[in-house]
């Protein structure tokens, strides 16, 4: 099988005619049909897949039709599916294809999944293989089905638009009455492209247009359609040629721009030339390059003065796309003195999308102009007029418009200068839109966010807090976690201490992680010792543990040593790490020292010595044991000395061991019954070179002559003999010849 596939691919790639029986024969053997199937599914080239699809489509075998339908069901092989669509489109004038209706439902399903314009075009053209009466109802059902997503419905409308039938145009005119705005827009564009002037007409005029279209008859209509298709083909060729030279031009322009991009003055001069270019694509290119420059990291101190006037001028350009891109750029260039011109253009602008972007830019321009650091002198009336525009957007049925309106109101109320009655008017407009019955949940979250921010960073935050506090309280019980999160932010911005008291009971474990982090952060700022109760439960959580521990440390710093000591067992019960326990004890130690609390200080240092040892920080453990030895007596002192001895022995530190034992011997005797002697005996029971050397060094210890330490003498002798080689313990033979001794031994 693989050999046949390989031969087929080689022949097709060579461009030679395929000399295999199955290639032109419509009554293949199963093996030949399988070869075509494999070429369709795995062919490396579009022409191979298209040829295979065409051969299978023309086959009279029932298995061939099953192959094609199964390919449509497999969502993972779009190249093969598109090849079938192209084969169907090319077969539109071929009446030899049987049972074409088999493909209607699979094509509709495949069409619903398309998002790329090129792929969508191939699928919609495949519907041309059917008689119009066979597909009119399925297409219209898809277009008018409000339960389907809008993309699926619009794709079906594109398929209807391509149908060369008078009835298709009639249906497009009827779709201008659809309740769905996007369907109306798409139908209008389709009719405009066909030269049908029905978009701006009333229903009576549209009915007259339908009658006129139906009266010309099918033959005349098809003749017109063929002329239009020829014209469109020529137009496409011209457009392709234009696109080619456009790409070449801008490619060269990019190279020139890159060469001078390191010099700010040269870049400004170059871009200004094309901002004032004769053709819209030149101006758009310059706007996009300036956007890249502004958000980049290079020097741009002269941009606003050098290019600002040219950019502002483009908001009133004759070309819609130029105006749109200019407005987007000015939104980025918030410091540009453009508010007056933007407001004037908004009043004249006809394009809704451009008007929206101009409004966004106006909001940013006003925000900066009225900020304390601004040197721009702007009439207060512009601020009020912009706020009125924002209030209008706030009432829009489009959530994204309303959200942007709220953002602009929030920004313009950030700085002082307005009378209280005017401020309250716009504050109320936000709460009123939030409380509306038809306000969608996402928008309610956006609105509550703006209200929360106004309570924290506005010159009018007291007024905002007075108006919004009850709204935040009520929003805490919302099922929508986004709304709850905004309410939490609002309450925190109003009063952090009160917010923590109010929220710690029910919201520290809220399902929204954003709320949980907000409360942990709040505890880090204003938390008290009682907040440790819930924070300690989070220290081992990956997402919140670090923040919770940071907050706990902050609270620990504000508490007394005695109170803090009670939390150590609770930390251990929650499997706190050794470093976390050490951090708490170090705080307790500092607190106890400043409070002169000797009892707590000793407990903290004792546990620190132990924890450092467990954490293998032996030097730190030794340091604390040394401190404890100095401040304790008798048996307790002996125990700490034994612990310190163990650390020195484990580290094989001969001199520290010797010095520690010498110091202890000055105080008292050391025998095999005291903790120190036992610890030494235990360690030296494991023979090693270090033990031998250590015992030899200890044997050299010099004590005052009058100081008698019989216990130590006996212990050292016992340990030395236990570690001596066996031959060294045997009595010497008096008759044995003398041996030469190594002077180095």
- Candidate from 75-89, 281-295, 632-646, 728-742 with smallest mean pLDDT: 728-742
pLDDT at 634: 87
pLDDT band at 745 (very low <50, low <70, confident <90, very high): very low
Higher pLDDT, 265 or 240: 265
- Which residues lie closer than 8 Å to 453 by C-beta, 6 or more apart? 410, 489, 493
Long-range contacts, 427-435 (Cβ 8 Å, 24+):
427/454, 427/460, 427/463, 427/464, 427/467, 427/468, 428/467, 429/391, 429/394, 430/394, 430/406, 430/454, 431/467, 431/468, 431/471, 433/394, 433/395, 433/402, 433/406, 434/471, 435/471
pLDDT at 250: 79
Higher pLDDT, 465 or 70: 465
pLDDT at 433: 94
Closest by Cα among 283, 294, 381 to 340 = 381
Contact 366, 323 (CB under 8 A): no
pLDDT at 47: 87
Other Cβ atoms closer than 10 A to 46: 12
Contact 556, 564 (CB under 8 A): yes
Lookup result for tokens 């079906």: 156
pLDDT at 96: 65
Contact 404, 396 (CB under 8 A): no
pLDDT band at 730 (very low <50, low <70, confident <90, very high): low
- Candidate from 424-428, 445-449, 523-527, 706-710 with smallest mean pLDDT: 706-710
Mean of pLDDT over the chain: 86
- Check pLDDT > 60 for residue 540: yes
Determine the average pLDDT of the residues in 155-173.
Answer: 89
Phi and psi at 120, nearest 5°, equal -60, -40
- Candidate from 13-22, 28-37, 476-485, 563-572 with smallest mean pLDDT: 13-22
Residue pLDDT, tens place only, 241-275? 777 877 888 788 888 888 888 888 999 999 999 99
* DSSP of 381-433: HHHHHHHHHHHHHHT-SSHHHHHHHHHHHHHHTSSS---HHHHHHHHHHHHHH
pLDDT band at 1 (very low <50, low <70, confident <90, very high): very low
Residue pLDDT, tens place only, 180-239? 889 999 998 888 877 777 778 788 878 877 787 777 765 666 566 566 666 667 777 777
Written as six digits, the tokens of 49 are 């897949």
- Check pLDDT > 70 for residue 27: no
* Percent of the chain predicted with pLDDT > 70: 90
pLDDT band at 7 (very low <50, low <70, confident <90, very high): very low
Determine the average pLDDT of the residues in 92-109.
Answer: 81
Residue pLDDT, tens place only, 362-383? 999 998 888 888 888 888 899 9
Determine the average pLDDT of the residues in 49-77.
Answer: 84
């Amino acid at each position: 099988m693989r050999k046949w596939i390989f031969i087929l691919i080689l022949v097709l790639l060579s461009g030679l005619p395929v000399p295999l029986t199955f290639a032109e024969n419509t009554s293949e053997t199963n093996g030949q049909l399988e070869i075509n199937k494999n070429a369709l599914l795995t062919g490396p080239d579009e022409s191979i897949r298209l040829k295979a699809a065409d051969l299978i489509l023309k086959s009279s075998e029932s298995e061939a039709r099953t192959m094609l339908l199964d390919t449509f069901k497999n969502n993972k092989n779009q190249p093969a599916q598109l090849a079938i669509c192209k084969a169907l489109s090319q077969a539109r004038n071929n009446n030899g294809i049987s049972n074409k209706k088999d493909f209607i439902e699979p094509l509709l399903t495949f069409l619903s999944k398309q998002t790329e314009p090129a792929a969508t075009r191939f699928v919609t053209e495949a519907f041309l293989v059917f008689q119009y009466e066979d597909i009119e109802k399925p297409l219209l059902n898809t277009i008018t089905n409000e339960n389907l997503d809008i993309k699926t419905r619009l794709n079906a409308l594109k398929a209807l638009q391509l149908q060369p039938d008078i009835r298709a145009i009639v249906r497009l005119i009827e779709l201008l009455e659809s309740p769905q705005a996007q369907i109306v827009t798409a139908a209008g564009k389709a009719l405009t492209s066909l030269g049908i002037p029905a978009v701006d007409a009333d229903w009576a005029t549209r009915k007259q247009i339908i009658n006129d279209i139906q009266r010309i008859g099918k033959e005349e209509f098809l003749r017109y359609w063929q002329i239009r298709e020829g014209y469109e083909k020529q137009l496409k060729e011209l457009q392709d040629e234009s696109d080619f030279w456009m790409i070449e031009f801008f490619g060269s322009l990019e190279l020139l721009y890159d060469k001078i991009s390191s010099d700010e003055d040269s870049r400004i001069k170059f871009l200004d030339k094309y901002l004032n270019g004769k053709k819209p694509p030149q101006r758009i290119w310059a706007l996009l390059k300036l956007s890249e420059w502004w958000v980049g990291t290079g020097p741009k101190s002269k941009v606003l003065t050098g290019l600002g006037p040219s950019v502002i001028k483009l908001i009133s350009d004759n070309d819609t796309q130029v105006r749109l891109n200019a407005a987007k750029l000015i939104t980025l260039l918030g410091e540009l003195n453009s508010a007056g011109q933007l407001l004037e253009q908004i009043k004249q602008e006809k394009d809704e999308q451009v008007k929206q972007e101009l409004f966004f830019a106006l909001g940013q321009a006003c925000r900066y102009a009225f900020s304390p650091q601004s040197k721009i002198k702007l009439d207060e009336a512009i601020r009020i007029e912009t706020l009125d525009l924002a209030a209008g957007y706030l009432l829009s049925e489009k959530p994204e418009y309303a959200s942007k309106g709220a953002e602009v109101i929030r920004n313009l109320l950030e700085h002082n200068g307005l009378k209280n009655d005017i401020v309250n008017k716009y504050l109320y407009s936000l709460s009123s839109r939030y409380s509306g019955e038809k306000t969608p949940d996402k928008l309610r979250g956006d609105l509550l966010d703006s209200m929360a921010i106004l309570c924290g960073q506005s010159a009018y935050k007291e007024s905002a807090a007075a108006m919004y506090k009850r709204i935040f309280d009520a929003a805490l019980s919302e099922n929508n976690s986004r709304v709850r999160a905004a309410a939490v932010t609002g309450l925190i911005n109003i009063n952090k201490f009160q917010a923590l008291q109010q929220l710690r009971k029910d919201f520290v474990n809220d399902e929204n992680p954003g709320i949980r982090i907000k409360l942990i952060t709040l505890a880090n700022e204003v938390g008290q010792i009682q907040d440790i109760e819930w924070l300690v439960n989070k220290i081992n959580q990956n997402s919140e543990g670090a923040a919770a521990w940071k907050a706990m440390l902050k609270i620990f710093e504000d508490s007394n040593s005695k109170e803090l000591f009670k939390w150590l067992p609770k930390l251990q019960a929650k499997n706190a790490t050794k470093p976390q326990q050490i951090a708490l004890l170090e705080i307790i130690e500092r607190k106890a020292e400043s409070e002169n609390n000797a009892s707590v200080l000793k407990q903290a240092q004792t546990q620190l010595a132990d924890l450092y040892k467990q954490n293998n920080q032996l030097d730190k453990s030794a340091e604390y044991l040394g401190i404890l030895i100095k401040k304790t007596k008798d048996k307790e002192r002996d125990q700490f000395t034994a612990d310190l001895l163990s650390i020195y022995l484990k580290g094989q530190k001969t001199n520290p061991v010797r010095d520690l034992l010498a110091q202890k011997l000055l105080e008292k005797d050391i025998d095999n019954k005291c903790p120190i002697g036992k610890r030494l005996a235990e360690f030296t029971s494991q023979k090693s070179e270090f033990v031998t050397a250590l015992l030899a060094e200890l044997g050299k210890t010099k004590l005052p002559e009058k100081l008698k330490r019989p216990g130590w003498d006996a212990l050292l002798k016992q340990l030395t003999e236990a570690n001596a080689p066996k031959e060294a313990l045997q009595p010497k033979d008096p008759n044995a010849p003398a041996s030469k001794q190594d002077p180095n031994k």
